Structure 1
């Protein structure tokens, strides 16, 4: 077995939960982050840099002081990678005090003092209206769906949490702000939520990754078109092919909304 596979196995044995429901328990995350230094959900920045960087820095020849909020930063290095690409005005929030303290220390040692890391709940964000240019989440919203039931018709409690998150994101975004969501959630499940009547953002979807495609959604506030589909729409379910290395990763536990995997 190769080194990479050994690393994955050791990681799964040490921090992966017995069931996906553990992801809803704050104590699980505190315990996990106390042991784990770094883990990337849904591939690292290098795999979707070509998709997200043009949104954050559309003209690389001029200074671009975009103000970014990252939801559920955990122990990801996304904020560091963005910082190295010139995006320095970043605020990260996470519900775990352990994760926040460890990230604050890590960033301080690297001299990335402009990045702020706060303990906060994405369902009740402590920020004023229209104060961020971009809000980014990578795998954080997926946690809300682990006990959601039917993906076409999420349980009322699940839908309420998801809508609370999205309403908060919509509120803190500036007039022409952008919400970027990196996820396993397929368009036919996510678009009805993103396109709820109370939101004014447009909807775009890109994919990245090998074998199984991960999704990067771009929602631009104030750009919604009358033709945008909303609640009640169903979309054709895509054919999905998973490579062996994708199946071995912990990310696979989030694929609870796919009944059949076809290559």
Structure 2
């Protein structure tokens, strides 16, 4: 079933560049109670539960007003920590979880480029659409601006650092492998890279990066893997997601 547009049309930005503005997010979260980027949990639950176990300690980056942490909790994954850069999003998420009785979930105001956690403390780090924000002003996708590269690498270094030795990073995104591999495959990282797609015509990618399992054999195999294209105009591309997709298509043209 298609997801509706944002409850309040006033939260829609005029361009994708607004997603880089912290003030935009504070204003949006003050007005908006819930919005799901890149489809809701039901579309990728079957993939998530292959990698996140009930005993896993999980960090969600950029929780915003998503229900992802609640869905994971209902599936028995209770050791959850959510972060967001917006203090308004954090306070509203805390209250929402308390009201629903999900008191075990921790919600913190924090920057994913400078995570306030010790090394090796999470089994899983997950993000849905959060990394995509870093690319809205990246320029040529084959040769992104140095500032974009620096931010993305900071994010990935922090994720790699806080993961346990055999931890998993899950990234749910529009970013196709031929654009994301240059970052994920940096020699400083020890993780292997796998991906699935969900959505009827492969609109969204579900990456699974397993720390400590990098191998040349798997990289060579993945280089030969056919990557399906993404259609901007397919009816399944729903809600506000088109702003991300439009920005990416303009850069790829």
Give the alignment's TM-score, normalised by structure 2. 0.92
Structure 2: runs of 5 or more not aligned = none
Q: CA deviation at 1:210?
A: 2.3
Return the structure number with greater relative CO, CA threshold 8 A, min gap 6: 2
- Taking a change above 3 Å as real, the CA distance of residues 33 and 136 of structure 1, as seen in their structure-2 partners, is same
Q: CA deviation at 1:248?
A: 5.1
Q: CA deviation at 1:219?
A: 0.2
In the alignment, what sits opposite 1:8? 5
Whether contact under 8 Å (1:246, 1:252) holds in the other structure is no
Q: Kindly report the root-mean-square deviation, in angstroms, between the aligned alpha carbons of the 2 structures.
A: 2.3
Q: CA deviation at 1:246?
A: 3.7
- Taking a change above 3 Å as real, the CA distance of residues 258 and 101 of structure 1, as seen in their structure-2 partners, is same
State the alpha-carbon separation in 1 of the partners of residues 188 and 25 from structure 2. Answer: 32
In the alignment, what sits opposite 1:118? 108
Aligned residue pair count = 249
Q: CA deviation at 1:239?
A: 2.9
State the alpha-carbon separation in 2 of the partners of residues 115 and 46 from structure 1. Answer: 20
State the alpha-carbon separation in 2 of the partners of residues 9 and 40 from structure 1. Answer: 9
Q: Out of 26, 31, 46, which is 1:50 matched to?
A: 46
State the alpha-carbon separation in 1 of the partners of residues 217 and 141 from structure 2. Answer: 24
Question: Any residues of structure 2 matched to 1:45-194 within 5 Å, and which?
Answer: 45-57=41-53, 64-194=54-184
Give the alignment's TM-score, normalised by structure 1. 0.88
Q: CA deviation at 1:131?
A: 0.2
Whether contact under 8 Å (2:170, 2:208) holds in the other structure is yes
In the alignment, what sits opposite 1:19? 15
Structure 1: runs of 5 or more not aligned = 58-63
State the alpha-carbon separation in 1 of the partners of residues 49 and 149 from structure 2. Answer: 30
1:258 is paired with a residue of what secondary structure? helix
Q: CA deviation at 1:37?
A: 0.2
Whether contact under 8 Å (2:90, 2:108) holds in the other structure is yes
- Taking a change above 3 Å as real, the CA distance of residues 10 and 105 of structure 1, as seen in their structure-2 partners, is closer
In the alignment, what sits opposite 1:34? 30
Whether contact under 8 Å (2:59, 2:126) holds in the other structure is yes
State the alpha-carbon separation in 2 of the partners of residues 201 and 247 from structure 1. Answer: 31
1:54 is paired with a residue of what secondary structure? coil
